[in-house]
Amino acid sequence: MNKEQKKDYITEMTAQFENSKSILITHYQGLTMAQLDNLRSQMREHGIIFKITKNRITKLALEKTKCKDLSNLFTGPTAVAFGEDAIMSARILSKFAKDNENLKLIGGMMDNEVLDQAGVLNVANLPTLDEARASIVGILSASASKLVSILLARSEKMSNLPEENSETKPKE
């Protein structure tokens, strides 16, 4: 890389780190180009950029961003996933890592919160926003339908409620 290319790379990476809500860092040593292309295409379907980095220059770009705490993760063959949806990024990467032991999740950042490897795996297990909305709607509609069925129940069903009888009353 010449000096001009390095400046362009730093500018591009600085913008990526500043503008992404989700940044996940991986080590990819041992993956073939076909595997990397497969991973990139899976991520691209969800609007996630998966980029192999140049560590020394990337650390220079990190110094000027909110992500400067991540610079210690850039050692060895490193790639970064930039996206808006941390849950989807973490899911794709963790699923790919299960199938390909050469991909290692190192850490990352989600909405200005630094994540370690365990944090990334926890994020991968969270429901997506659409899944969370669907389960809330399911809970609300199930509760509402149960309430309506109780209110509309025939009087015989309501008569099953316990009532006082003469045997349980204390004698006077």
For the stretch 105-151, pLDDT in tens is 999 998 888 888 888 888 888 777 777 788 888 777 776 677 666 66
Look at 68 and 171; give whichever has higher pLDDT: 68
Greatest C-alpha distance within the chain: 103
For the stretch 9-30, pLDDT in tens is 889 999 999 888 899 999 999 9
Whether residue 48 contacts residue 92, with contact meaning beta carbons closer than 8 Å, is answered with: yes
Q: Is residue 159 classed as helix, strand or coil in its secondary structure? A: coil
Q: Is residue 54 classed as helix, strand or coil in its secondary structure? A: coil
Whether residue 3 contacts residue 51, with contact meaning beta carbons closer than 8 Å, is answered with: no
- The class of domain 3-124 in CATH terms is alpha beta
State the average pLDDT over residues 67-82. 90
